[in-house]
Amino acid sequence: MKYQRGVALSGLIFWGIVLVLVAVLGMKVAPTAIEYFKILKDSKAVVAQVGPDATVADVRKSFDKFAEIDMLEFYGNQLDISKDGGKIVIEFAYEKRIHLFWNVSLLIDYKGSTAE
């Protein structure tokens, strides 16, 4: 006697819906993660470019130039700039709210530092 093999229509529909929801979530979250990594990369580039005697205004101005090139909506005035052992350290933290559907949103807290 042969046994039937395969996928039931209800199972196919269920897993199709799950796959679509995961794909939509990924497509909405990926741009914010890419933006975070660009901000971190630009912060590290600014620290490498400016000297240890640079002022806070110089660091912010330099970051704004990098942000303009990468087309970021994140500006130098949102950075926390300090010195640790004579080395400039840039830290930032911000929230990103991603609307998913109806009244459901995803809130992600991004934090980064050049000290790591």
What HEC string does 41-69 produce? HHHHHHHHHCCCCCCHHHHHHHHHHHHHH
Cβ atoms < 10 Å from Cβ of 76: 23
**So what's the pLDDT on residue 72?**
93
- H or E element: which one contains 96? strand 87-101
**So what's the pLDDT on residue 93?**
96
**So what's the pLDDT on residue 53?**
86
DSSP string, 5-17: -S--HHHHHHHHH
How much of the chain exceeds pLDDT 90, in percent? 79
Please report, for the chain, the start and end positions of each structural domain, with discontinuous segments joined by +.
30-113
**Does the pLDDT at position 1 exceed 70?**
no
Q: What is the pTM for the complete model shown? A: 0.84
Q: For 28-51, what is each residue's pLDDT tens digit?
A: 999 999 999 999 999 999 999 998
Q: For 76-103, what is each residue's pLDDT tens digit?
A: 999 999 988 889 999 999 999 999 889 9
Confidence of residue 116 (pLDDT cuts 50, 70, 90): low
